[in-house]
Amino acid sequence: MNILGISGSLRAGSTNTQLLRAVGRLLPAPAQLTIFDGLDELPHFSPERDNDNVPESVRALREAIGQSQGVIICTPEYAFGIPGLLKNALDWCVSTALFDRKPMAAISASPSYMGGERAMASLLPTLTALNTSIPDGCSLVLSSIRNKMNASGELIDPATEQALRRLADGLTGDV
């Protein structure tokens, strides 16, 4: 069972990418997580470019999504929404059926006490447009995330670990 992870952050040492890795360690066997590394290679979306000759980077994203049995997006909040590079990646998938009823988990994590509520509010309508399936418990907003992980990206907050374990179980139970 292959679960694809997509981080909305390109930052080296990104907390959101570390969270994806933490979820990967919590996935029940035989599930495994593969993190997509290539959002920064995607060209700006334009409907005129979305044809049979899409760029190789778009083809790689679509192939990774198509080969997965579920997807986890973990994103920071940027300017009260999701980062443009993540929205761009999702826009490249609107004309496909790659996400159609595919089990999906959505996490937004932020160092602020408000968490990534506005990022989640921005992400969920796009996931609805893609016709994803978000099982119960597979949408999670994490506030003050830097207090819940150590510098090595390991979870140090039991409640956060439990929430991520429920998310992992909910996603794979629907696959």
* Residue 114: per-residue pLDDT: 79
- Could you report the per-residue pLDDT of 156-174, keeping only the tens digit for each? 999 999 999 999 999 998 5
Q: State how far the alpha carbon of 22 is from the alpha carbons of 40, 48, 67, 97, 99, in Å.
A: 22, 38, 22, 29, 23
CA–CA distance from 36 to each of 1, 87, 102, 157, 158 (Å)?
A: 16, 15, 17, 26, 27
- Domain ranges for the chain, please list them: 2-38+60-173
Look at residues 169, 83, 89, 90 and name the one whose alpha carbon lies nearest to residue 127.
Answer: 90
Question: Taking 60 as the threshold, does the pLDDT of residue 73 lie above it?
Answer: yes
Residue carrying the six token digits 């990646």: 89
Tokens for 148, please give them: 């819940």
- Could you name the CATH architecture of 2-38+60-173? 3-Layer(aba) Sandwich (3.40)
Give pTM, 2 decimals.
0.94
- Cβ proximity of 142 and 108 under 8 Å: yes
